[in-house]
Homo-oligomer: A and B are copies of this chain.
């Protein structure tokens, strides 16, 4: 069977990691990459600091896609639907399947109902699938919660908490989380919307609620700065002691004033430097209760990279349209030839 032809769109921290994982996998051929920061056509191997591979990297999406004609594109350039919709228009017009790690795309129907409808229609017209995935939203605080509820007869309240290390992510995420700011600047950023915190609660909560059939009246969110008492440093950011190392972002879906779904997601760079234990915690309260712990947490960077790559055969097999992780068969790691998993 012919290999699956993949284009990587966006070569930031996540995009680079995806390319490296794709290189390691059988049945997949990375045929090109799109990166707006390259000024002229270059080689992907050279771009990554290695030997030449004969794989073009271009800043012109239209030209690159026409040149290499991929089956599927992984889009890793932005967190919000508005930041990827133009790209999805181009990809679907060219009948290319889309996996994106834009967090809002994991379940875009509530925050962007009109764009969601447009994307769904474009995808159906083109006969391709558009899927948003990632470690979270897309996995730990939604898909995994759903899967854990299989053995439950009655769900009263879902409580989940993800304490993770934000270090693998790049500048986009650091800015969204207010990393490196003073407490005042953080609070100001929350006010004016420049500090967003986790992009995902307004995706994970509706996805869980719709799948399980829970209803709620409102979602109440809070964003608190996580201050550091020590210097914390990552590849992309330096946080001095006394500054903001991350954002403790929580969201509660309330029905008649009582919590139905509570998600907590304190995210920060280098929690280990203050001996903060990371982990994923899911509690389903009902009949019966289920209480799950993953320690340490499913790592954010690798988890997002792996999720985006591992879903590829499922996306190629799926019906056309704008789908979510809840629409796909159980997604998992793949160690053999990816084309073995095509139907």
Query: Measuring CB to CB, which residues of chain A are less than 8 angstroms from any residue of chain B?
Result: 21, 24, 135, 139-140, 143-144, 146-155, 211-215, 284, 286-288, 290-295, 298-299, 302-307, 309-311, 325-337, 340-341
A20 to chain B minimum Cβ distance, whole angstroms, is 9
Cross-chain contact B330 with A147 (CB below 8 angstroms) = yes
A193 to chain B minimum Cβ distance, whole angstroms, is 30
Copies of this chain, count: 2
Q: Chain B: which residue is nearest A284 at the CB level?
A: B333
Q: Chain B: which residue is nearest A310 at the CB level?
A: B150
Across the interface, A332 reaches (CB within 8 A) one of B147, B306, B309, B310, namely: B147
Known interface pairs A290-B294, A298-B290; A153-B306 also in contact (CB < 8 Å)? yes
Considering the chains assembled together, what is the distance between the CA atoms of A302 and B144 in angstroms?
19
Considering the chains assembled together, what is the distance between the CA atoms of A153 and B304 in angstroms?
10
Give the interface SS of chain A, mostly helix, strand, loop or mixed: mixed
Cross-chain contact A332 with B293 (CB below 8 angstroms) = no
Considering the chains assembled together, what is the distance between the CA atoms of A213 and B212 in angstroms?
30
Closest 10 CB pairs of A and B: A213-B336, A151-B303, A149-B333, A146-B332, A213-B335, A152-B333, A151-B298, A149-B332, A147-B147, A153-B306
Contacts of A330 in B (CB 8 A): 143, 146-147, 211, 325-326, 328, 330
Across the interface, A150 reaches (CB within 8 A) one of B214, B333, B336, namely: B333
Known interface pairs A150-B139, A150-B307; A332-B302 also in contact (CB < 8 Å)? no
Cross-chain contact B294 with A294 (CB below 8 angstroms) = no
